[in-house]
Amino acid sequence: MCNSLKKIQTGIIKCIDFFYPPFKRVISIDVFRYGVCGVSNMLFDWVLYFLVFHFVVRKQIIDFGFVAFTPHIGTMLITFPITFLSGFLLSKYISFRGSSLVGRVQFVRYALVVAGCVVINYVCLKIFVEVCGFYPTPSKMLTTVFTVLFSYFSQKNFTFKS
């Protein structure tokens, strides 16, 4: 890792750790870092989803001629690669630095867990928006509850296990 990236990593960890003392008796520093990184990436995902849905997709069907996506699913497909990468980098370099697994293995395992999260996202968005009639952004937020639970236990016990 280059010196500039190492400084960024150290800065992020110091910033997160600054807010840790009140939580020290309740959770470990690793769980706290994971939570902060997860919440940060989740908020980034929500903001990105909102911006893409309203200003890029403009609430329109995305039609490629041979396949068309509803606006909420098309938005998910656009934002996914960005939040996938940011989530992996935060997990690898901030939350789970102590993992003994090599980066390639972590990346493949992370991708498998995220694939599970994508399925959960897709199914939940379809149900909440198309069956229940909820608005897309709150549906995305509600869907996140299910994906966070699945992701936390999978990442902890599979992807980045020590």
pLDDT digit string, tens, across residues 78-98: 999 999 999 999 999 998 888
Q: Check whether 34 has a pLDDT greater than 80.
A: yes
- Write out pLDDT tens, residues 91-131: 999 988 888 888 899 999 999 998 998 899 999 999 999 99
Residue 141 makes CB contacts below 8 A (sequence gap 6+) with 46
Question: Exposure of 117 by Cβ count < 10 A (0-12 exposed, 13-18 middle, 19+ buried)?
Answer: buried
1: confidence class by pLDDT, cuts 50, 70, 90 = low
Residue 41 makes CB contacts below 8 A (sequence gap 6+) with 83, 86, 87, 90
CB-based contact 125:139 (threshold 8 Å): yes
Winning range, highest mean pLDDT, from 56-60, 92-96, 141-145? 56-60
